[in-house]
Amino acid sequence: MELTGNLPGLEQRRSSYSTTESTPATPFFGSTASRNNIAIYDSTYTTPSPPQITSSGLVEQPKGFSSIPPVDHELDALLKREPPIPKAVPAVFTPVENMKTLEQSLVNHIPGNRNVYIRGLMPTTDDEVLLKYAERFGPVETSKAIIDTSTGACKGFGFAKFASVQDSEKCIRGFHRLGYEVGFARESFNSRLKAEGDDSSTNLYISNLPKSLTENELAAIFLGYTILSSKILRDGLGNSRGVGFARFESRDVCDEIIKTFTGQPLGEEGLCMQIRYADTPAQKELKRVTAERRQFRTNEYNVGAYGTAAVGISPTIYGQPGWKQKPTTGSA
């Protein structure tokens, strides 16, 4: 779309308050030019001001990017099969140039991998619906929509594992055509975390400790073992955080302690002690980056799906027309 007239000026207009601060500002979720999927909201917000108006004539598209997928009648017929797959919930914070092309989405870093990651699902998507979406592309071995157990709503993504790589690729082509972030699933977070571990470490992280526990009392728990060093983490006021570290002589001793003492109740509260190897600097960084990315993606999805990042704060936000939530038994 090209702008055919001059942009309006910023002078005060009698019939509109968009140039004043007496009403809420126009919601604006970044450059959305040439995107196929834009969130439409029924609101009384003011009209856009000129800097928020974008068009294909004003925004330069990245090389190789096209908002119009090539003609594929066979794939289009599959997408329209009952129940038809809807367009993706828009990734409102992600610039167009950062979105993966179809070629990038089809890259498979794990030989023989048939598991497909699908992001942009509607909040009403459940396991049954996702299976119906996926099985049109070929035999499905397993599929799972990731559900928030506190709300019963889909978190916006899920997985489908096909019987063949070819069917996995067909699924990727289909969902990508509708604006989904889709591709072959990567190595799991736990696998990447384990790869960043130190097999020679003898430092153990101990949690669920009574707040009154001292370093001497911690050492007494492991009486009979040689503790090279120990520490209980405390806040700025000197109060225990309920976690600590203990370094032992060898890896074998650490393995024995984890096996023997994990789950042992402590103190009057009867808290069950949890023991694992302490994180390496690389593991800490992976956890930090992953947590930040997950929060960003969660906020982005909530704005695209609900119009606000404050999902979970408003009890009425899930009261969408026709929404039939089902009891959930799976993990969030």
The per-residue pLDDT for range 183-193, each reduced to its tens digit, is 999 999 999 99
**Helical residues (DSSP H) of 120-188, grouped into ranges:** 127-134, 165-177
Domain definitions of the chain by residue range: 1-60, 73-192, 199-278
Report the sign of the C-alpha dihedral through residues 308, 310, 312, 316, in that order. negative
**pLDDT at 6 (0 to 100):** 52
302-330: average pLDDT: 63
287-303: average pLDDT: 96
Q: Range with the lowest mean pLDDT among 218-232, 266-280, 295-309, 314-328?
A: 314-328
**Distance separating alpha carbons of residues 241 and 23, to the nearest angstrom:** 46
Residue 196: both structure tokens together: 């960043």
Q: Range with the lowest mean pLDDT among 61-70, 112-121, 158-167?
A: 61-70
Report the sign of the C-alpha dihedral through residues 271, 272, 273, 275, in that order. negative
User: Which pairing describes strands 240-248 and 203-207: parallel, antiparallel, or unpaired?
Assistant: antiparallel
Beta bridge pairs of residue 143: 160
57-76: average pLDDT: 64
**Distance separating alpha carbons of residues 210 and 208, to the nearest angstrom:** 7
- CATH of the structural domain 199-278, one choice from 3.30.565.10, 3.40.50.880, 3.30.70.330, 3.20.20.60: 3.30.70.330
Residue 77: both structure tokens together: 């017929």
How crowded is the C-beta side of 63, counted as CA atoms within 13 Å? 0
Q: Are 73-192 and 199-278 equal in CATH topology?
A: yes
pTM: 0.67
**Distance separating alpha carbons of residues 290 and 313, to the nearest angstrom:** 24
Instruction: Give per-residue pLDDT as tens, 172-185.
Output: 999 999 999 999 99
**pLDDT at 108 (0 to 100):** 96
Cis peptide before 95 (omega within 30 of 0): no
More confident residue, 107 or 35: 107
Residue 143: both structure tokens together: 């599929």
What is the side-by-side order of every strand in the sheet holding 203-207? Answer: 227-234, 240-248, 203-207, 274-277
Share of the chain above pLDDT 90, in %: 67
Structural element, H or E, at residue 306: helix 281-306
Q: Reduced to 3 states, what is the DSSP secondary structure of residue 43?
A: coil
Q: Give residue 13's pLDDT band: very low, low, confident or very high (50, 70, 90).
A: very low
Residue 162: both structure tokens together: 């096909």
User: How is domain 73-192 classified at the architecture level of CATH?
Assistant: 2-Layer Sandwich (3.30)
Residue 320: both structure tokens together: 């969408």
**Distance separating alpha carbons of residues 296 and 94, to the nearest angstrom:** 10
**Distance separating alpha carbons of residues 281 and 288, to the nearest angstrom:** 11
For residue 97, report the phi and psi dihedrals to the nearest 5 degrees. -70, -15
Q: Give residue 37's pLDDT band: very low, low, confident or very high (50, 70, 90).
A: very low
**Distance separating alpha carbons of residues 168 and 115, to the nearest angstrom:** 7
**Distance separating alpha carbons of residues 251 and 295, to the nearest angstrom:** 35
Instruction: Give per-residue pLDDT as tens, 17-33.
Output: 333 444 444 444 444 44
Instruction: Give per-residue pLDDT as tens, 241-274.
Output: 999 999 999 999 999 999 999 999 998 888 899 9
